[in-house]
Structures are given as structure tokens and as C-alpha cells.
Homo-oligomer: A and B are copies of this chain.
Amino acid sequence: MAEASSSEELVLAFLAEAGDEFVSGEAISGKLGLTRAAVWKHVDALRAQGYRIDAVPARGYRLAEVPDRLTALELRPLLNTHDLGRELHCHEELGSTNDRAKELAEAGAEHGTIVVAETQTAGRGRRGRAWVSPPRRNLYFSAILRPDLSPARASELTLVASIAICEAIRQAGVEAGIKWPNDLLASGRKLAGILTELAAEPDRVHWVVIGVGVNVNARAEDFPEELRAEATSLAIERRTPAPRALFAAACFTALEDWIDRHAEEGFGVIREAWRERSVTLGREVTVRTDGREIVGIAEDIDATGALLVRGRAGVERILSGDVALLRPR
């Protein structure tokens, strides 16, 4: 599914504005400059996308129920970003939103383009690991950025995105924290992940794709059995489902805000914001990196975003690896 036609969006907006009231086909067609047949066609198309629209002779139409769907129709009116999502590609199914975003980026898609999918058949996490992507329950999106950065600094964007998504999750009422480098945890369990990929020359990035997966309304049974003890969702934590389109829009806004702060103020503010939201720092951790295992206290992240772990041999600087938190706080 590509972009929604704008008159479809207008019909929907008109119905939404009327709230519980019926509006006549004449009123809609007069106001929007559409034929009655066109109005009917749009109502029909909206119904096919899960909108429940009552139609009563002599009274007209009424929007009775809005589906919890991540379509351009639902997302676009909720956007209040300047760049992110201005170009919006919503799909019912994709292999992976990052793969699609990378194709679009390679073909020249502009800064801020966002790809959303209701399900991923080959969702990926860091280092090619699978990301469980049940349909129509969660949020899977990728944003194409064209920052003025060297590839050496791309890891900063993973931290930027972690902070932003952490913030959106907290706004949704769940006390999330960041586990270095790219996981968001709640109650010690995985709630969301970030996958950053890039294309570059050695001295400058061509594009960065930031992939975000958040378990929004997944139920325990949506996770494979071996992950159930480790995974959670907003709905599980809140004990009530979350409206996904609103949450997605909040993620886009937070992501753009933090990308702007990073571009304007540099990594210093990001490092500080990351520290505040970290569940890694101050904890005893085991880090698996390059076939080695380092046990120690995660003390800080440095000016490049690397994790500093004080082990027996002194402080080690970890550029990449898997962190296990040893003791619950």
C-alpha cells in the first residue's frame, strides 16, 4: 500500500470532525467539491480499510469506529514533524522495514522518509538476528536520515534514537530504560530495539536508516515460547492496549526532536540524556565481544558512545557487544 489519496483523507477528516453527528452526502460533496459517486467510492474504500461508517437514508454518514491501523490515512493527520514522515510509506507486510528503507535511500529518497509495516516476514535486529513481528499489534518503522556526519559518529544516532523512543514509551505510561547500546527494557524485559544501518564514504555518511521495533500491543502468546520470559510490550506493562497510530506519531516527534538536538548541540547533551535513561550504568554486567567475555561494572559511556566497563584488568572500552545485566537493581 502506498500513499492514501488526499480526497479519501479529506472525507475521513470531515467525518471525524462531525464526531457522533451524521453528515449528508450532499454536505460532503458540496464542501469537498466531489461528486456523490466519488464520496460513495471513498466511503467504500475507507470501510475496506477497517473504518466502520454508518449510512442511514435521509441522514447521511457517521464515523462509528476507527481501526487501530498504521496506514497513511491514520498516521498523516497525527504528524507534527517538519521532516520525519513527510514522505510516508505504509505497508501491510514487508520483509523488513530497514531493507525497504535502504532500497529507497539508495534510490535517492529524501531525509525524513519513513517506512512503516504492519508485519515483517524477515524482521531483523542487530547483527542479522530475528525480530519477532506479529501483524497489526506492534510498531515497526524505519527512518531515512541524511545527516552531515562521518561514519565514525553513526553510533551516536543509535543512542539518539534510544533516548527518543524511551521518551515516547514513558509518555505512554511505561517506565522504560535503555540497555546499551540499542535495547529498551521495562521490568527488565525487552520492549523495543533499534537497528542502525548506513552507507558511506569513509569521511561522510550518504544515508543512515534507523529501524525501530516496539512491542506495543503484543500479548505474551505473540512471542515464541523461548522469548516469553525476556520480552514484554506496552500493553502487558500498562495492562491495557495502546493506540498504535498515536504512539507511532509520538515516536516520530520524539525522534525528530532528539535528532535536531544532536545536530544543533552535539553529542554532549545526548550523552547526558542517555546516562539519565540508562539501566546499564552502575550495574554489574557481562559483555560478550569479539569472542571474549568481560565481567565488570558498567561505569559510563565515553565521548564516542562506547561503553566503559571496569573489570579486573582495569577499564575496558567496548565498541560493540552484547551486554547482560547481572543483578537486578
- Would you call A202 and B157 a contact (CB within 8 A)? yes
Residues of B within 8 A of A188 (CB): none
Asked if A155 and B203 sit within 8 Å, CB to CB, the answer is: yes
Bound Cα distance from A126 to B206, whole angstroms: 12
Would you call B126 and A201 a contact (CB within 8 A)?
A: yes
From 121 to 155 in chain A, residues with beta carbon under 8 angstroms from any chain B beta carbon are: 126-127, 150-152, 154-155
Contact A202 B158 (CB under 8 A): yes
Residues in B with CB closer than 8 Å to A181 are 203
Report the separation of the CA atoms of residues A202 and B145 in the bound assembly, to the nearest whole angstrom: 14
- Taking CB atoms, residues of chain B closer than 8 Å to A202 are 151, 154-155, 157-158, 196, 198
CA distance A202 to B161 in the complex (A): 13
Give the number of times this chain occurs in the complex, counting copies: 2
Chain B positions within 8 Å of A201 at CB level: 126-127, 195-198
Given A151-B152, A320-B150, residue A198 in contact with residue B199 (CB < 8 A): yes
Return the chain B residue nearest A196 by Cβ: B202
Q: In this assembly, does A200 line the interface, its C-beta being within 8 Å of a C-beta of chain B?
A: yes
Task: Determine how close the nearest CB of chain B comes to the CB of A143; give it in whole angstroms.
Answer: 15
Q: Hey, which bits of chain A sit against chain B, CB under 8 A?
A: 126-127, 150-152, 154-155, 157-158, 181, 195-204, 206, 319-320
Please name 27 pairs of A and B residues whose Cβ atoms are closer than 8 Å in the assembled complex, sorted by A.
Answer: A126-B201, A127-B204, A150-B152, A150-B319, A150-B320, A151-B151, A151-B152, A151-B154, A151-B202, A152-B152, A154-B200, A154-B202, A155-B203, A158-B202, A195-B201, A196-B201, A196-B202, A197-B199, A197-B206, A198-B199, A198-B200, A198-B202, A199-B199, A199-B200, A200-B200, A203-B319, A203-B320
